[in-house]
Amino acid sequence: MEKNPLEETILAAFDGMSAQLQAAARYILDHPRDIALLSMREQARQAGLQPATMTRLAKHLGFDGYEDIRSLYRAAVRGDAANFAGRVSEQAQHQKLKGDQFLAGEMLMTFGRQAGSLAEPGSLARFAEVSTRISAAREVYCLGLRSSHASAWHLHYILSLIGKRSTLLDGIGGTGADSIGRAGPQDVLVAVSVLPYTRATIEIADYARERGVCLIAITDSPVAPLAQSADMALIVQTDSPSFFHSMVPAFAAAEIVGALVAGHGGDETLLALREFDERLAALGTHLTSRNIRKTP
């Protein structure tokens, strides 16, 4: 978020607040994106406060209630998410000041922290639940549009390797979603979407849910549109020092799910991979040596 909508208002009123209100105000200043995406109760929990304190802060700042503050921040997030041009200007200034190597290192450290967060106990439990459900599915449909496409394709590719019936919803000519029309309660749709959320992904997911398909979301917030309607959700972080949101955690999540499903496959997976290896060998798909002779 380029600018915290209430920063000036909070700073001007800060000295006149009680200690509890100051703690709530600090949370807003430090976590502007969470104000838009998380419930008031969850924000209060993270700040170590009672929900009533958040409401009192809103009234202290002249609002009717805390929901008015959340609406203000939601509008800011929507504008910021689509404003790549504004963010690249901010990145360019930072890059000019600190240098290319600093920005590259900053991005890599961010990716490392984000990937590491997926190893937290709650996240690991969700990975296990998701992989078990996918393993039991008749067919898996993978959906990811725009920046989320690579993650969806990667999962689809791994599932295809191990002999799991998988369909990637990316057909040309606008036919990508047609295949979901044959899906039912025995099937799973894995949909990937992060802010800014692609409308078509949400609409296809809603259609699948109407057909009784199990929806598994890989998204960036518990209150993201996909997470709201999903049967299961893997939450990944997307913040980045770059102008572009990070897709590294979503890609990693897709790869982890694919690997776990492979582990559930037993002899069928082993047979599918052997047949796949034989086909690739027959076609000469892969180089047999790392030493490539340069053309004179």
SS3 242: coil
- Does the structure show a pLDDT above 70 at 156? yes
Q: How many CB atoms lie within 10 A of CB 239?
A: 13
- Tell me the CATH number of domain 116-283, given options 3.40.50.300, 3.40.50.720, 3.40.50.10490, 3.30.420.10: 3.40.50.10490
Task: Provide the 10 A C-beta neighbour count for residue 41.
Answer: 11
pLDDT at 134 > cutoff 80? yes
The CA–CA distances, whole Å, from 259 to 34, 43, 95, 159, 256 equal: 31, 34, 37, 9, 5
pLDDT value of position 287: 82
Assign 10 to helix, strand or coil: helix
Fold of 7-81: Arc Repressor Mutant, subunit A (1.10.10)
- For the chain, domain boundaries: 7-81, 116-283
Mean pLDDT of 149-166: 95
pLDDT at 125 over 70: yes
Task: Report pLDDT for 296.
Answer: 57
Q: Is pTM beyond 0.75 here?
A: no
pLDDT recorded at residue 284: 87
- Average pLDDT over every residue of 247-263: 96
Of the listed ranges 6-10, 45-49, 67-71, 136-140, the one predicted with least confidence? 67-71
Q: Is the pLDDT of residue 221 over 90?
A: no
Helix (H) or strand (E) holding 193: strand 188-193
Instruction: Measure the CA–CA gap between 140 and 145, rounded to whole angstroms.
Output: 17
pLDDT of 272: 87
